[in-house]
Amino acid sequence: MKDLGPVNYFLGLEIDRSEAGFFVSQRKYVQDMIKEFGMSNTTPLKLLMHAHVTLTLDKGNLLADPSIYQKLLAKLIYVTITRPNLSFPVHNLAQFMQKPTNVHMQAAKRILRYHLNNPKHGILLASSSAAQLTTYCDSDWATCPVTRRSTSGYCV
């Protein structure tokens, strides 16, 4: 085993130390992802998803190569480590991994355009906070338009 010193960058996570604690972000990972999918010159968005958009299996045309969509979604799922606000829309899009359509791809690219607006967001692990664990849970009855099952959400 070898000590490489204080960590700065590890598996796509950027760690910045300060008096306040550790700030963990994925700025470079997100910027590389934006370049990879050709979204560098698009307009940034302030809204992640439209409130009244319902994604279903039958809207749009099937993608000729679903592997591009699957790769994008896998990268977006990894970004939710430091961006928990993306969890709902990203995991909502993950329901359509087997047969994605152009509508699903547009929604995924919208999330990338949202990243252009604020690529430096992350999580601060404060060094002097009173650790208090709080959990919130919510569910609704049969609101998933695809399966008609209940959707649950929680936050710790």
pLDDT in tens, 42-97: 888 887 777 667 787 888 899 999 999 999 999 999 998 888 888 888 888 898 99
* Residue 79 to residue 74: CA distance in whole angstroms: 9
Query: Looking at residue 132, what is its pLDDT?
Result: 77
Sorting pLDDT into bands at 50, 70 and 90, what band is 152? low
Q: What is the mean pLDDT of residues 122-127?
A: 86
* Residue 109 to residue 137: CA distance in whole angstroms: 29
Q: How many CA atoms lie within 13 A of 149 on its CB side?
A: 5
Q: Is the pLDDT of residue 126 over 90?
A: no
Express as a percent the part of the chain with pLDDT over 70.
Answer: 86
Query: Looking at residue 150, what is its pLDDT?
Result: 67
Identify the burial level of 78 via C-beta atoms within 10 angstroms of its C-beta, where 0-12 means exposed, 13-18 middle and 19 or more buried: middle
Q: Is the pLDDT of residue 148 over 90?
A: no
The interaxial angle of helices 27-36 and 66-79, nearest 10 deg, is: 170
Token look-up 């993608």 returns: 63
